[in-house]
Amino acid sequence: MALRWSDFITPSTLQLAPLVEFLLEPVSCRQLQAELKLGLHEALLNGVRHGNNADPAKCLRVRRIESSFWLIWHVPSDHGATAGRGLFLIHQCFDDVRWSARGNRVQLAITRRRMGTVAIGRGWGSRDR
């Protein structure tokens, strides 16, 4: 499977439910969707409140990346907070959480294995990993 990138741009608002639904389209398991919805909503909320200073004139740009082994979201954020309920939830919901060097974007990822969809015939040497 080649890398597939999708960009989602929406006004910086707290009305995040429709965006979360779009971002979770590749996840077919309802239980996993519910779990990820919580973590993704927290990350987006952080992006609106802290990354965009709750400025409705700004936009929220999220990127979803699909590979053979991972489903990844890049969300604008602010890594100024090092603890709290939101960060705890995010770390509980995703298999991998990484911050950009500048701390202004968080990468959230789950494995396809967790989704029950792993590409056959690809090994550790795959550039999609």
Cα dist from 96 to 26, 90, 106, 107, whole Å: 18, 10, 10, 8
Give the SS3 label for residue 5. Answer: strand
Cβ neighbour number for residue 46 with a 10 Å cutoff: 23
Say if CB 97 and CB 91 are below 8 A apart.
yes
pLDDT recorded at residue 128: 41
Question: What tens-digit pLDDT sequence spans the chain (129 residues)?
Answer: 678 999 999 999 999 999 999 999 999 999 999 999 999 999 999 899 888 888 989 999 999 999 999 999 999 986 655 567 888 999 999 999 999 998 889 999 999 998 876 554 443 333 443
Q: pTM of the prediction?
A: 0.83
Q: If 0-12 CB within 10 Å is exposed, 13-18 middle and 19+ buried, where does residue 93 land?
A: buried
Domains of the chain with bracketed CATH: 4-115 (3.30.565.10)
